Amino acid sequence: MDSAMPQPKGRTLFEIENLRKDYPMGEVTVHALRGVSLQIYSGEFLVILGPSGSGKSTLLNIIGGLDAPSGGRVRFKGQNLTTYNDAQRTQYRRRNIGFVFQFYNLMPNLTAEENVELATEIAPDPMPAREALGLVGLQERRTHFPSQLSGGEQQRVAIARAVAKRPEVLLCDEPTGALDISTGKLVLRVLADINKRLGATLIIITHNAVIGEMADRVVRMADGTARDIIVHATRRSVEELQW
């Protein structure tokens, strides 16, 4: 692991300055983020590591426009996200962000393909739903309902759904958290592949430090701050990882 000089992969996509998030809980206030500053570059693969409660999800949700910060700033391509209202954040998510969560959040009423179409229907320049399912290797299962798919398959559908609108950024909060090792690897490979082939910026939250080796950079969070950033000169492939 070499911590060489920072080598940005592309231009700056996110500029995060002194980002704070407080949860006033009656008497006490929980400080989920206590001033995070970070640059995220276009097309990079970034892994966020950190103990439970360190503010990883909070950070990701703010970046993804799900949540508004209490202080500080997030700039996306020069636009200040922090001033967005709810409707603007919705538009921002619609255009730019693909989310993948630990739980797959598929519509139980829709087939795999229809779940993906859900995303393509509202995106300005989507890829065909079948192509997206092809990317995750599930073309043959497209007419199946979520309840007819395994957890890993459901997660891949979720990824296909996130990817289908060709988002600039793919945000994944513990995407392998609910999966066994080999399925987890499969999912990671799909994600890394998409990052490489489509050039989408990929941000993954994980508890598994090993996954960090696949990334261009690793941010370590602790206590609501970005403790340190590790930059990798080369990324490893999933097969090279030692679990």
Partner 1 sequence: MVIGVLHRKLLRTIFRSWGQSLAVIAVVVCGSACYITIYSAYLNLRLTRDTYYAQCHFADFEIMLERAPAAAVFKIAEIPGVRHARARIVRDVNVDIEGVDEPRIGRIVSMPNPRAPVLHDIVVTEGRYFEPGAQSEVIVNDRFAEANGLQLGDRIHVSMEDKKYPLRIVGLGLSAEYVYMIRNVQELVPSPERFGILWVPTDFAETALDMRAACNNILGDVDRPEELDLILDQAEKLLKPFGVFAKVKREDQISNRFLSDEIHGLGVSARIIPTLFLGVAALILLVLLNRMVRMERTQIGLLKAYGYSDWTVAFHYVEYALILAVAGCLGGFALGARLSVGILRLYVDFYQFPLLEFRVYPDVLTWAMGLSIGFAVAGATFAAVRAARIHPAESMRPEAPRFAHRIWLERFPRLWRAVGFTWKMILRNIGRNAFRASLNIFGVAVSTGLLIMGFFTMDAMYYGMEYQFNEVQREDVKISFQGERGRDALYDMQRFRHVRYAEPLLEYPFEVRAGWRKKDIIVIGLPQEAQLLKLMTFRRGEISIPERGVILGDYLAGELGVVPGDRILMKPLMGRVTREREVVVHGITEQFLGTTAYMDLHALSRILDEPFAMNAALLRIEKGAEQAVNRAFKDIAGIASVGFREKAYQSLLDTLAESMRIMNVTLLAFAGVIAFSIIYNVTSVSLAERQRELASLRVLGFTAGETGSILYYENFLLGVIGMAFGIPVGMFLSRLLVRAYESDLYRLPFHIDQTTYVISIALTTGFVALANWAVRRKIHGLDLVEVLKERE
Which residues contact Mg ion (rule: CB under 5 A)? 57
Tell me which of 26, 52, 108, 124 binds ligand ATP, using CB under 6 A: 52
Closest approach of Cβ 58 to Mg ion, in Å? 8
Shortest Å, Cβ 216 to ligand ATP: 21
Q: Which amino acid is at 93?
A: R
The pair of three-digit structure tokens given for residue 221, joined into one six-digit string:
């969070």
Closest CA to 224 of 39, 80, 37, 75: 37
Q: How far is CA 69 from CA 35, 83, 215, 231, in A?
A: 10, 10, 26, 27
Binding-site size, ligand ATP (CB under 6 A): 12
Site membership for partner 1, residue 30 (CB under 8 A): no
Is 55 one of the binding residues for ligand ATP (CB under 6 A)?
Answer: yes
Q: What is the longest distance spanned by two Cα atoms in the chain? A: 55
Partner that binds at residue 32, options Mg ion, partner 1, ligand ATP, none, CB closer than 5 to 8 Å by kind: ligand ATP
Q: Which of 14, 104, 215, 230 binds partner 1 (CB under 8 A)?
A: 104
147: amino acid identity, one letter: S
Query: Contact 231/7 with Cβ under 8 angstroms?
Result: yes
Place of tokens 């007819």: 148
Residues at the contact surface with ligand ATP, assessed by CB under 6 A: 23, 25, 30, 32, 50, 52-58
